[in-house]
Amino acid sequence: MAEEYVQLIIDGRKVKTRKGEKILWAALDAGIEIPHLCAIREANPPLGSCRLCFVEVEGRGVVASCIEPVREGMVVHTDGQKAKALRRRAMELLLAYHPLECKTCVKKGKCEFFQLAVSMKVKKPKNFRPFPREELPVDESHPQIVWDPNKCILCGKCVWVCKEKVGMVPFDFVRRGYEMRLTTFLGRPLGETNCTGCGQCVEVCPVAALYFKEGAKKG
């Protein structure tokens, strides 16, 4: 059966895309940038965790573009004031909680999170009350991969890629709300889990929560 397509308008441009596609991917395919960190095109349902991809849809209001499917005749504004304000606040909250050790970070110059904050012109807010943090030990038990839970932004990419692509579940979320965090299976050291060391989790991690040890064989 032939694939169906729809046409929508994004920032005044006519965009043709596959029926059922999400706004985010329709925009990116057309060369229209929308901030995002957690999105994985193949993920179904979408992860929708970072809340950085808000846009405004006429007749519907503000939506997360990685979750909202396109419709025929839909009119989308990526630069609407409400969407921009929500994206900015989401980034501020991520920055407020994240340890900014950029000068010594192993992903210096390659950190998607930092690059996105710069492109959005958002800095760590100074008017937020300090978030109480539980400093956790950096896990170097695995022969190839280092796991630093303190730098995790809870995007969920590593959980999805391990479960859906590799078929293993060394990581998952525990607790809810403000106390939610990513942990290894049963809280074991990463080296004692079923992690294969394939490195796909490292490849999708937008920060330095997961990275290869120096000299580690990748893939």
Domain CATH number, residue 140: 3.30.70.20
Residues 111, 21: one domain? yes
Torsion, Cα of 12, 18, 22, 25 (10° steps):
-70
**pLDDT tier for residue 134 given thresholds of 50, 70 and 90:** confident
State the alpha helices, DSSP H only, in 61-199: 81-97, 112-120, 157-160
136: left (phi over 0), alpha (psi -120 to 50) or beta: beta
- Phi first, then psi: what are they for 201, rounded to 5°? -65, -40
Closest C-alpha to 119, from 146, 98, 91, 96: 91
Reading the block at residue 99, the tokens are 């340890």
Structural domain span for residue 32: 1-132
Q: In the listed set 86, 116, 132, which residue is the last one of a domain according to the structure? A: 132
* Whole-number pLDDT of residue 216: 66
Place of tokens 């525990």: 174
Instruction: Specify the number of domains making up the chain.
Output: 2
pLDDT of 177: 77
Same-domain status, 116 and 165: no
What is the pTM (predicted TM-score) of this model? Answer: 0.91
Contacts of 51 (CB under 8 A, 6+ apart): 64, 86, 87, 90
> Does pLDDT of 219 surpass 60?
no
Read out DSSP for 26-66? HHHHTT-----SS--TT-SS----S---EEEETTTEEEETT
The answer for 78, left when phi > 0, alpha when psi is -120 to 50, beta otherwise, is alpha
pLDDT band at 218 (very low <50, low <70, confident <90, very high): low
Same domain, 64 and 155: no
* pLDDT per position as a tens digit, 161-207: 999 999 988 999 988 777 788 998 888 999 999 999 999 999 999 99
Contact between 157 and 38 under an 8 Å Cβ cutoff? The reply is yes
Whether 36 shows a pLDDT value over 90: the answer reads yes
Task: State the pLDDT at residue 185.
Answer: 82
pLDDT for 1: 64
The predicted pLDDT at position 3 comes to 83
Average pLDDT over the chain, rounded to an integer: 92
Tell me: do 38 and 70 sit in the same domain.
Answer: yes
Task: Please list the helix, strand and coil fractions of the chain in percent, rounded to the nearest 5, in that order.
Answer: 25, 20, 55
- Residue 118 and residue 14 in one domain: yes
Whole-number pLDDT of residue 85: 97
Domain end, chosen from 113, 132, 151, is at 132
On whether both 207 and 124 belong to a single domain, the answer is no
Query: Residue 217: pLDDT above 70?
Result: no
Is the separation of the CB atoms in 209 and 153 below 8 Å?
A: yes
62-88 average pLDDT score: 97
* pLDDT at site 178: 74
In the predicted structure, residue 2 carries a pLDDT above the cut 90: no
In this structure, are 9 and 57 located in the same domain?
Answer: yes
Higher pLDDT: 37 or 218? It is 37
Residues 127, 140 within the same domain: no
Residues 76 and 148 in one domain: no
What digits encode the pLDDT tens for the residues 8-18?
A: 999 999 999 99
Answer yes or no: do 39 and 19 share one domain: yes
Q: How many other CB atoms are there within 10 angstroms of residue 130's CB atom? A: 6
Same structural domain, 170 and 196: yes
Among 132, 149, 173, where does a domain finish?
A: 132
The per-residue pLDDT for 155 is: 95
The residue behind tokens 């193949």 is: 42
